[in-house]
Every structure is written in C-alpha cells, then in structure tokens.
Structure 1
Amino acid sequence: MTGSMSGRTILLAGGTSMAGRAAAQTLLDAGAHVVVAGHDPEKTDVLAGSLAGMVAEVCDLTNEAGVAALAERVHDRLGPVDGILHLVGGWRGGGGLAGQTDDDFRFLESSLTALRLVSREFDADVRASTAGREAIVSSTAVARPLAGGANYAAVKAASEAWMRAVAQGFAKAARDAGEPLRAASVIFRVKALAGLEETLADTYLGLFSQDAAAVNDTVIDLST
C-alpha cells in the first residue's frame, strides 16, 4: 500500500477531455505531479492555464518516436512516472454491421495504438514505482456488444486484453524478482463516461491506497 501522493508523477494520456480535467484536479489536490499529454496544443494550453501546477505536453500518442520523446521530456523534468490513466478515446458507430466502416474502425483503433505505445514506453517506470497504477477506461459494450457498435466493442475488447497482459507482466516481474507486487493494471468500464468524470478521478486515486495484489488485473464497473 501507499500513503501520500506527494512526489508521485501521474501521466494522463489524452487527458484534455472533461474526464482528464477532473482527474488532473483530483490528483493535483492530492499532491501529485500531473502531466497531461494530448495532440491538440490549444486544448493542452487551455487546460494548463486553468490548472496550476499541471504540466502540459503536446504529443501524438499514436506515433512511436513521439511517445519516446515524450518519455524523455517527462523523465528530464519530473523523473519516472508512477501511474498512467489512459483517456484516448471516442465513439463512432451505428447502422448495424453494414454501417461499420473501415474509416470508423481506424479512428477507433487509434486509442489502442496509443495504449500500446504509451504502456510499453513507461512500463519500466510503473513496475519500478513503489505504487505503480495503470488504468484504462473501457466500456460495458465489451460484455454485451451490439451490431451497431461492433467496431467500438472490438477495439475496447482488444484494449482490455492488452491491459490484462500488462497486469500479467507486472505480476511476473515481481515474482521473478522475489519481490511483493507493487504495480497494478486496472480496467474501468462505463456505459457512458459523461457524468462519471469525478467518479473516475476518485476511483483512480483510490487505487493508490489499495494493495496492488488486490487490484491488479481487475475490472471495475463505474456505472453501477
């Protein structure tokens, strides 16, 4: 378990949304260093201007070299990160299976690409932290996919599989080193994120006060 968030660095990947703002404020209030990375400089600047102490980083999180450069800048300024909340997302769908276009799938797939690149680049950081916590926002559609949201549900299911692999990696690394598990990978599911931004922020923060073994490789439904 861990106590204060003071001195801990948290990366909000794609965190310029309302959910990112809520998470950034909650984490800053708890004493953490917060880095918000997004591809739109206007949005990152607006968020940085309204949240004192937040670090804004402009980065294409679907670009491998860009993510590597982001990690270098964060390390130079704040050192290794202790946690990541992945917020790159969006929705496109409707029209049954016939309405599931390749363009829509590629748009949605960008969130999975960002997840893969960011989690790989910062994996060593999170594993080395005394309380590493990594989480994604998934969807209840994974458990009950509909034809009109097949693209969306498929990408979310793949993202959940990736995070479960991250969880296994954390557990294996701790086991191989003969050390207690200190890092956890968690999946949050929502039916719709609107209206749950504060709940998401509080629940993510709460992961740091729980034992890693109790939350690693778990699915938490925020809609209930």
Structure 2
Amino acid sequence: MTGLLTGRRAVVTGGAQGIGLAIARRLTEHGASVLIADLDRERAAEAAAGLSGAASVGCDVTSEADVQAVADRAAEELGGLDIWVNNAGVTRDASLKKMTVDDFDLVVGVHLRGTWLGVRAAQAFMREHGGGSIVNISSMSGKIGNPGQTNYSAAKAGIIGLTKAAAKEVAHHGVRVNAVQPGLIRTPMTAAMSAEAMAATEATIPVRRAGEPDEVAGAVVFLASDLAGYVTGAVLEVGGGRGM
C-alpha cells in the first residue's frame, strides 16, 4: 500500500467490526496510527490487536464526556489528531405503527448526536493544530428512505445537513468535513437478511451486487488524504449506483 496517510493520527468510532473495522484497517495500511473507539471495549481491543499501529478505547458516542475523552486520549497517546471518522451506529427497525419512542431516540441519538459530538470534539482540536479531516458515515437510507427505518433514515439524512453546516463553519481553519453514503454493504447487520431479501435488494442496484466494507473504507481513505485537499462539504455515495 502507498503511504497516503503516513504520520497521520486517526480516530474511528464504531471501529470494532464491520465497516468501521474495514476503515480502521485501511487507514493503518496507508500509514496512519488509529485509535478504535467502540462501545464494546473487548471487541475493540481485539480489533486493535489485529492491526499494526492501532489502539483501542471504550466509548459511548452519545456521551459528551466519553467523546471528549477519546479526543484527549488520541492527542495524548497518538501525539495529535488529523482524522476523525464518525462511524458508530445501531439499528432498531420497525414500522411507524410498531416503532417505540425509545427505539427512535436511541437510533437518532447514536447516529446524529454521536456524529455531532464527534465533529465538535475533533474540529476543536484540529482548528488549533493546523487542520484535519472529518468523515461522517451517512447512508443511502438518508437519501432515498427505507420502509421500517424512519429513525435510521432521519438520522442519516441529518448527518448530511450537519456535515455541510460544519464544513462551512470550519473550512477557514483548515478543517475539512465530508460524508460517505454507503448503500447495501455486506456487514454483520446485513448478514441477518434472508437470502431472498438480499437478492431482491441487489436486483435494485445497477451493479447488481452488494458492496464490501473495504469499498467504503477506500472512499474514507480518499477523503482523509491530501488527494481530497480541496474537497469539503461533499457527500460521496458508495452504493453501486443505487438511488441515482
């Protein structure tokens, strides 16, 4: 791998598995030191142990204190903070008729509040230390909407508005804020889908297949690197053409 990110210091929330782990792996392969922050401390530690140049920390992204502690730890242990990836997420799918207020609040809290807290903590450090790159993981669900995901779709759409507003606020400090919108990606969450449901969904995608976590990670590496030095407030779809 080329050293696109050699010497950079990164945080990946929800980095213990799935897309987050693929992102953490890709960042380290391109030379970055990575702090994996995840609610599951044990799984985060296992993930970090399998990567060169990675460490781990427990974090509830809905907690202001936890998120700030991650930023402080990255600055202390990694020596700085150049990249922050807001990836942590949960799902609680149900129809409007059956979805509870608690399930709505949980999903919006983790995705939207968690991303906002991450953006706020990361930019505060970056603007004082020469800039950096923040990448927020949204979803195609936030663009096209999915039945049974009014909570998730709303939160992921909100991340786009947050990304653009934050990008405008901090651009003059050398901080870039962008978003990635994955489509159907093979992860532990989508593994729960039946074969019939997976096939039906893939049939709606122009490239006729689900994506891989590593394909999302590649987009994050680009946005985190100097190759995207003039890119901010952008939304990069990684969905095989779904939603065009």
Asked if TM exceeds 0.5, the reply is: yes
**Larger displacement relative to structure 2 (129-138 or 183-192):** 129-138
Match of 1:177 in 2: none
Residue 167 of structure 1: how far off its partner (Å): 0.7
Alignment partners' CA distance in 2, 1:192 and 1:130: 36
Q: Deviations over 1:140-194 (max 9, x none)?
A: 22222244221111111122211111111122x34xxxxxxx4321111122232
CA contact (8 A) 1:129 1:183 kept: no
**Larger displacement relative to structure 2 (73-82 or 119-128):** 119-128
Q: Deviations over 1:190-216 (max 9, x none)?
A: 222324311111111122132433x21
Residue 92 of structure 1: how far off its partner (Å): 2.1
Q: Letter of the aligned partner of 1:197 in structure 2?
A: P
Alignment partners' CA distance in 2, 1:132 and 1:45: 25
Alignment partners' CA distance in 2, 1:142 and 1:200: 16
CA distance 1:144–1:25, shift in 2 (3 Å): closer
CA contact (8 A) 2:180 2:219 kept: no
Q: TM-score, normalised by structure 1?
A: 0.86
User: What are structure 1's unaligned runs of at least 5 residues?
Assistant: 175-181
Match of 1:186 in 2: 178
Match of 2:229 in 1: 212
CA distance 1:87–1:211, shift in 2 (3 Å): closer
Alignment partners' CA distance in 2, 1:202 and 1:130: 24
Alignment partners' CA distance in 1, 2:149 and 2:228: 35
Instruction: Using CA pairs under 8 Å that are at least 6 residues apart, name the structure with larger relative contact order, 1 or 2.
Output: 1
Identity fraction in percent: 28
Q: Deviations over 1:107-132 (max 9, x none)?
A: 20222221111211121333356562
Alignment partners' CA distance in 2, 1:54 and 1:25: 9
Q: TM-score, normalised by structure 2?
A: 0.79
Count, aligned residues: 212
Match of 2:237 in 1: 221
SS in 1 for 2:227: coil
Match of 1:179 in 2: none
Match of 2:107 in 1: 108
CA contact (8 A) 2:20 2:88 kept: no
CA contact (8 A) 2:222 2:228 kept: no
Residue 82 of structure 1: how far off its partner (Å): 0.6
